Amino acid sequence: MSEANAFHSRHRAAETAISVSSVWKVFGEGAARFRSRPPAERTAEALSRDHLTGAVQDASFDIGRGEVFVIMGLSGSGKSTLLRCLTRLIEPTEGHITFGGQDILKLGEKALADLRRRRMGMVFQHFALLPNRTVLGNIAFPLEMQGIDRARAEARARELVALVGLSGRETRLPTQLSGGQQQRVGIARSLATNPEFWFLDEPFSALDPLIRTDLQDEVLRLQREQSRTAVFVTHDLDEAIRLADRIAIMENGRIIQIGTPEELVTRPATDYVRRFVAKVPPARVIRVASLMRRESIASAAMSVPAEATVSEVAAQIVASAGPIAVTDKAGRTLGSLDRQTALETLAAL
Ligand SMILES: Nc1ncnc2c1ncn2[C@@H]1O[C@H](COP(=O)(O)OP(=O)(O)OP(=O)(O)O)[C@@H](O)[C@H]1O
């Protein structure tokens, strides 16, 4: 692992929260028969000959506890199907999916419903709020489903209303809210049970760009305050870069690369990934740590954090008149940043 990644992937060395191994979802008649084929015969040609859709093909990856893992790709690449396989809203054709070591594909109906209710939170593109319930009633609903008494459920719902910035609107019905506000209710509701795992499927794509950025900030803030393992589907690269620790890029049912935004931009695995990330300014994803020289410096004019992106510290770099120190989260100096190299990264398109 490069130094840059060691700084950025705070989760990689951490405990695995979700492990996905050789997962397939094949749609069409005869999908079950597809399981008996040896791996070498599970090709795109074989799928098309049998009139099957390989929505997810041989997906394997681990997600670290507390990581924000983004699945992205063009329309029809299999993102939603993969996410739904993780929650078993769609039954995978085959493979293994474990949550904290427990194989969820082996769970019976009741255990699965329990897992979803207690440990998973989900947000979808269409808010799916209960039309006859108020903001508070919608947010309290998952708690009531758990058998928590109404007063306690409502107290928790009030906390969440404040957390997502809807104080004062507790008694409104969904139709009396804007799209962005409705999605805030959806987010609050998904967090009511304080789930370990948070699944978000294109949660902001129906919203206009400004509201979308607000809600992305909201998600980032919630992650900072109470980090949870999050899997986020989007077709918006900009959104993926803002939110992700790592991004999985899908193409025609296959995951073709998994990496930090910086890895995808600086080392795209295929032409498809290269084209996907072509418009991302490198300074937006390259971290100070990647440009740092490990050397001691006598007297620094200023310091910048190793985990910041070059864009985030652009103003300091431009203004600096002397050596720039690079520091870790504790403020210890790790090395130096060459101003010229940083300026070149900022200028690169
Ligand atoms: N229930 C289904 N029956 C048959 N084919 C399906 C079904 N659901 C999805 N598919 C097919 O599986 C493939 C992947 O679909 P999926 O919805 O997962 O893609 P996606 O990347 O999430 O797309 P989008 O961004 O448009 O939502 C597509 O070819 C789709 O037509």
Query: Using one digit for the tens of pLDDT, what is the confidence trace for 194-236?
Result: 899 999 999 888 788 888 888 898 888 888 888 899 999 999 9
Residue 73, ligand 1, Cβ within 6 A: yes
Find the helix or strand (DSSP H, E) in which 161 lies. helix 150-163
Q: What is the pLDDT of residue 286?
A: 94
Minimum-distance ligand 1 atom for the alpha carbon of 25? 12
Residues 207 and 343 in one domain: no
Residue 26, strand partner residues: 54
Residue 109 CA, ligand 1 centroid: distance in Å: 24
Find the domain containing 135 and state its range: 3-280
CA distance 341 to 305: 16
Please state the rounded mean pLDDT for residues 258-273.
95
Residues 274 and 291 in one domain: no
CATH code where residue 311 lies:
3.90.1280.20
CATH code where residue 52 lies:
3.40.50.300
- Sequence-distant (6+) residues with CB within 8 A of 211 are 178, 179, 180, 204
Residues 149 and 297 in one domain: no
Residues 288 and 240 in one domain: no
pLDDT for 318-349, tens place per residue? 888 878 899 998 989 999 998 888 899 998 86
Would you put residue 165 in left (φ > 0), alpha (ψ -120 to 50) or beta?
A: left
Distance of CA 185 to the CA centre of its chain: 19
For residue 19, the SS3 value is strand
Please state the rounded mean pLDDT for residues 148-159.
92
Q: What is the pLDDT of residue 9?
A: 44
Residue 76, ligand 1, Cβ within 6 A: yes
295 pLDDT tier (thresholds 50, 70, 90): confident
Boundary residue ending a domain (280, 296, 322): 280
Minimum-distance ligand 1 atom for the alpha carbon of 56? 14
Helices and strands in the chain: count of H runs, count of E runs = 16, 13
170 pLDDT tier (thresholds 50, 70, 90): very high
Q: What are phi and psi of 102, to 5 degrees?
A: -95, 125
Across the chain, mean pLDDT equals: 89
Q: Is the per-residue pLDDT at 89 higher than 70?
A: yes
Q: Count other C-beta atoms under 10 Å from residue 300's C-beta.
A: 17
Q: Is the per-residue pLDDT at 12 higher than 70?
A: no
Please say whether the beta carbons of 109 and 40 come within 8 A. Answer: no
pLDDT for 14-47, tens place per residue? 799 999 999 999 999 888 888 788 888 888 888 8
pLDDT for 121-139, tens place per residue? 999 887 789 999 999 999 9
Boundary residue ending a domain (257, 280, 303): 280
Q: Is the per-residue pLDDT at 146 higher than 80?
A: yes
Please state the rounded mean pLDDT for residues 228-250.
94
Residues 271 and 291 in one domain: no
CA distance 300 to 209: 40
Q: What is the pLDDT of residue 40?
A: 84
Residues 173 and 56 in one domain: yes
Q: What is the pLDDT of residue 218?
A: 86
Name the E strands within the chain: 16-27, 53-64, 68-73, 94-99, 102-103, 120-124, 197-201, 229-234, 246-251, 254-259, 302-305, 324-327, 333-337
The ipTM assigned to this model is 0.97
Please say whether the beta carbons of 299 and 324 come within 8 A. Answer: no
299 pLDDT tier (thresholds 50, 70, 90): confident
Q: Count other C-beta atoms under 10 Å from residue 256's C-beta.
A: 17
Q: What is the pLDDT of residue 223?
A: 87
Q: What is the pLDDT of residue 10?
A: 46
Tell me which residue of 181, 180, 179 sits closest to 135, measured CA to CA.
Answer: 181
85 pLDDT tier (thresholds 50, 70, 90): very high
Residues 187 and 221 in one domain: yes
Residues 171 and 293 in one domain: no
pLDDT for 173-183, tens place per residue? 999 998 889 98
Please state the rounded mean pLDDT for residues 74-83.
95
- Better-predicted residue by pLDDT, 13 or 80: 80
CA distance 247 to 190: 22
Residue 54 CA, ligand 1 centroid: distance in Å: 9
Boundary residue ending a domain (231, 253, 280): 280
Residue 326 CA, ligand 1 centroid: distance in Å: 45
- Please tell me the total count of domains within the chain: 2
Q: What is the pLDDT of residue 105?
A: 92
2 pLDDT tier (thresholds 50, 70, 90): very low
